[in-house]
Structure 1
Amino acid sequence: MNATNASEFLLGGHLPVRRLGFGAMRLSTNGFRGPARDPEIGRSVLRRAIELGVNLIDTAEFYQSSDGKVRANDLIREALHPYPAGLVIATKVGAVFSSDGSYRHGTGADMRRLVEDNLQSLGLDHLDLVYLRIGEMAPPHGESLGERFEALAALREEGLIRNLGISNVDINHLSEARSIAPVAAVQNHFHVSKRDDLSLLDECTAAGIGFSPFFPLGGGANKTEESRLVRIATRHGASPAQIALAWLLAYSPVMLPIPGTGSIDHLEENVAAATIRLSEEDHAELA
């Protein structure tokens, strides 16, 4: 059971990452906002992820409990700094949060402060990958990301960012971003039961751009899909969640799932999915 079973991808053409990463959202609270989780458990989960060979951690400065007392970035720094060689930390910016938890969509002028906040909380002098996240849960079709992405591209030229990504976007956003600066990765809502972005994924695969699905375990899958996952899981002696991850890893060589959890048991279950090899029958059933 090791994340190295998921093979590697060269992020931005130069940073090797194992294709099964870890999402930090659930370290501080069980969801986007909510009561604080035990920070020592969060730190233990992070240390175990490294022991299991995970070298891609996805986080954000705004991943925190509703009272602001437990923050994912703080846990990452406390558990892992000084960071092991080869660890890649990705973060995302875009929203500007107030102390009461409300937020507004950031502008280009906000990008430097958002990046610097992540640098400070993570204890870094540069960020390996910064996603510009736009919109809510669905891509804001027709909205330009140019001003914000140009601001991040300028910070990349300064050396504060090594690689740029975009999140919650459509194929036109990808084209616009690539006209400004290289795009190393895209992060969108995608899983076995939500395949709206197949054309975007195909574009990323052709261009060698990483595709990191958030909510990769497919919470809320329809009953037909759930029954298929259960049948295939039974054949492999695995869980449906493991089959959902194995399907993603097999679908494209640029796929970088980042399942998140606040539990060591769930972490180990997710990492073990990298050992599963789906058969042609399995793929046909899920097609």
Structure 2
Amino acid sequence: MSAFAIGGEHRVRRMGFGAMHLSRAETGRDDAVAVLRKAVELGVVLVDTAHLYGWGANEELIAEALHPYPEGLLIATKVGVRRVDAPREAELCGRPEFLRAQVDEGLRGLRLDRVDLLQLHRVDPEVPLEEQVGALAELRDAGKIGHIELSEVTVEQLARARRVTEIASVQNRYNLLDREHDPVLDACAAAGIAFLPWRPVHPATAASDGAVAAVAAELGATRAQVALAWLLDRAPVVLPIPGTTALRHLAENVAATTLRLDADQRHRLSRG
């Protein structure tokens, strides 16, 4: 499994695991713990979570399953969303004091003294971006954060943030059938910034016809594996973080790193 050094420091294999789905009510706790432990057993060293996922419960689940953490395991979490009353349930909050408090909550839940990769879950339009990123930079300087990540940002927002501090990675929605953020990925590739696509497998890739199905048949792979292989082929900075609650799908996702697309397959998939 190929690797990439996030922030020039944390060398991780290029297939991570997104833990969001493990917070679903229908996922039993024992099953969720088993999936997390199997992911590490299969060689996954990047686990992505967020305070929003169960309002801290997902972070606590990861600690229950994996603490004390194996050497080299990189836990990434997110802050910047707060709980509010129904019907909204959640809203963005990028005020520095809130970000600081939520980082402390995440550290407690994950049983960490420092979170190696901390992400601003979304940019709060009510707070200057520079203040939000600056607050995270202060936490990094205080030793509570290793590296800073942004989510759902534009090229312009990424550039503004980088004028404040170093940005190690970006997490935007991106997959074979949803390439709105091509310019952001290209900017990350040019700067050597890791790009973690969320929703890396578009539901439409399950269709039984089209280029994805054809390439899957040629490779003896699943359509989801082909979609993940295309992402890995797109740029060396891409680190997909597919999530699943099923051990079988987890193994298939990790195995996608062994697929190799030839020039014709790459062309057909990219053409859509």
Fold equivalence (TM over 0.5): yes
Report the CA distance between 1:170 and its aligned residue: 0.4
Distance in 2 between residues matched to 1:222 and 1:75, nearest whole Å: 30
Counterparts of residues 16-165 of structure 1 (less than 5 Å): 16-29=11-24, 35-64=25-54, 71-98=57-84, 102-106=89-93, 107-134=95-122, 144-165=128-149
Report the CA distance between 1:76 and its aligned residue: 0.8
Question: Where do 5+ consecutive residues of structure 1 fail to align?
Answer: 30-34
1:77 partner letter: A
2:248 aligned with 1:265, yes or no?
A: yes
Distance in 1 between residues matched to 2:182 and 2:205, nearest whole Å: 17
Q: Cα RMSD (Å) of the superposition? A: 2.1
Cα deviation, 1:49-85, whole Å, max 9, x if unaligned, reads: 0110000000012212xxx7x9221211111100000
Q: Secondary structure at the match of 1:13?
A: coil
Distance in 2 between residues matched to 1:95 and 1:18, nearest whole Å: 28
| CA shift in 2, pair 1:231/1:144, >3 Å | farther
Cα deviation, 1:201-250, whole Å, max 9, x if unaligned, reads: 111011110000000011245969x6210000000011110000000001
Question: Percent identical across equivalent pairs?
Answer: 42
- The two structures have a TM-score, normalised by structure 1, of 0.88
| CA shift in 2, pair 1:200/1:147, >3 Å | same
Distance in 2 between residues matched to 1:272 and 1:108, nearest whole Å: 41
Q: Secondary structure at the match of 1:268?
A: helix
Distance in 2 between residues matched to 1:98 and 1:215, nearest whole Å: 25
Note if contact 2:140-2:147 (Cα within 8 Å) is conserved in structure 1: yes
Question: Where do 5+ consecutive residues of structure 2 fail to align?
Answer: none
| CA shift in 2, pair 1:105/1:273, >3 Å | same
| CA shift in 2, pair 1:223/1:261, >3 Å | closer
1:55 partner letter: V
Aligned length: 268
Distance in 1 between residues matched to 2:207 and 2:65, nearest whole Å: 39
Note if contact 1:144-1:173 (Cα within 8 Å) is conserved in structure 2: no
Distance in 2 between residues matched to 1:115 and 1:77, nearest whole Å: 15
- The two structures have a TM-score, normalised by structure 2, of 0.93
2:193 partner letter: I
Note if contact 2:206-2:223 (Cα within 8 Å) is conserved in structure 1: no
Report the CA distance between 1:104 and its aligned residue: 2.3
Runs of 4+ in structure 1 deviating by more than 3 angstroms, as ranges, are 98-101, 220-224
